[in-house]
Amino acid sequence: MNEKVCCLIIGSGPAGYTAAIYASRANLNPVLYEGIQPGGQLTTTTDIENFPGYPDGVTGTELMENLKKQATRFGADIRTGTVTAADLKSTPKRITIDGEKVVEADTVIISTGASAKYLGLPDETKYAGMGVSACATCDGFFYRKKVVAVVGGGDTACEEAIYLANLASKVYMIVRKPFLRASKVMQDRVMTNEKIEVLFECNTLGLFGENGVEGAHLVRRQGEADEEKFDIAIDGFFLAIGHQPNTGVFSEQLELDEVGYIKTIPGTPKTNIEGVFAAGDVADPVYRQAITAAGTGCQAAIEVERYLLERK
């Protein structure tokens, strides 16, 4: 027999847990499935110093645990499980969990997040939280007056390099191509910044260091006759080659942008399907911060409450 719920939240992290807090306090008895990474991306981050209310900082794991406890305290039913299929256009919505259980929901909040793209080097895992990061805004503060490298040549990479240049003593940009893909204005800002050195036609072979990142092994013009291998000394290694929104299971039903982020009605968490809302990084290609994700989680829960009241 299928289970019937009023509000189903898919995905954890700041957006999902905040939505659960608000939906619980509105007596909507939300059910939340945490997905493959309970707590979301922040559980892979060591210290968070820019989330309001934590003057001394907090670990990503602790912040997520606190949000989860708060949601549970108000009655949210938080479960382990991953969505493997979804029929969002039916009434009620039909969501399949782990290929077996079907949950029927009057409303659905999707907060499945977006995963940073990595190069696929074993060293990226080895030094996770020890010098490797995919968010300059989150972690740049820890590299004040240090040397860092940014991988990528698009607008995001240029933005991250410029941001880091305000904190670090030097910023390398490791760019595969012989040019930057970024807009002209971003290119100009990078090329005129004295702290930024662009390493064109370079690939990263690996990272090294005893108790954290101390440097990177690079190769210039890989596979060419004049191929050159060399090392650079760095304290931090930032990935800026894009994010992949976790929207695969919904892609044929929801309206997505060209990258795969869920499109919402501007200023709201409403999707193109009535009763389906999106919160957090899964619908945010711009900010991707814990605090903005939490804010949209709040919005989504309030919109769910309004939607259900209107239907009554």
Asked if 168 and 144 touch (Cβ cutoff 8 Å), the reply is yes
Query: What ranges do the domains of the chain cover?
Result: 3-115+243-311, 118-239
Question: Is domain 3-115+243-311 classified as CATH 1.10.645.10?
Answer: no
Q: How many CB atoms neighbour CB 1 within 10 A?
A: 4
- Give the model's pLDDT for residue 45: 63
Confidence of residue 37 (pLDDT cuts 50, 70, 90): confident
Q: H/E element holding 256?
A: none
Confidence of residue 171 (pLDDT cuts 50, 70, 90): very high
More confident residue, 284 or 243: 284
Confidence of residue 48 (pLDDT cuts 50, 70, 90): confident
Identity of the amino acid at 257: D
Asked if 16 and 297 touch (Cβ cutoff 8 Å), the reply is yes
Distance CA 198, CA 192 (A): 11
What is the domain class of 118-239 according to CATH? alpha beta
User: Are 3-115+243-311 and 118-239 in the same CATH fold?
Assistant: yes
DSSP reduced 3-state for 165: helix
Known catalytic residues are 135, 138-139
Name the nearest CA neighbour of 37 among 18, 7, 14. Answer: 14
- Give the model's pLDDT for residue 129: 86
Retrieve residue 81's tokens: 């499980």
Confidence of residue 288 (pLDDT cuts 50, 70, 90): confident
Q: Give me Rg for the CA atoms of the chain.
A: 21
Percent of the chain with pLDDT over 70: 98
Asked if 69 and 22 touch (Cβ cutoff 8 Å), the reply is no
For residue range 185-219, what is the model confidence (pLDDT) as tens digits? 999 999 999 999 999 999 999 999 999 999 999 99
Tell how many helices (H) and how many strands (E) occur in the chain. 7, 19
46 has pLDDT over 70: no
For residue range 57-104, what is the model confidence (pLDDT) as tens digits? 898 889 999 999 999 999 999 999 999 999 999 999 999 999 999 999
For residue range 120-164, what is the model confidence (pLDDT) as tens digits? 999 999 998 899 998 888 889 999 999 999 999 998 899 899 999
Q: Is the pTM of this model over 0.85?
A: no
Question: What's the distance, CA 98 to chain centroid?
Answer: 23
Alpha helices in 26-121 (DSSP H): 60-73
Mean of the per-residue pLDDT values of the chain: 93
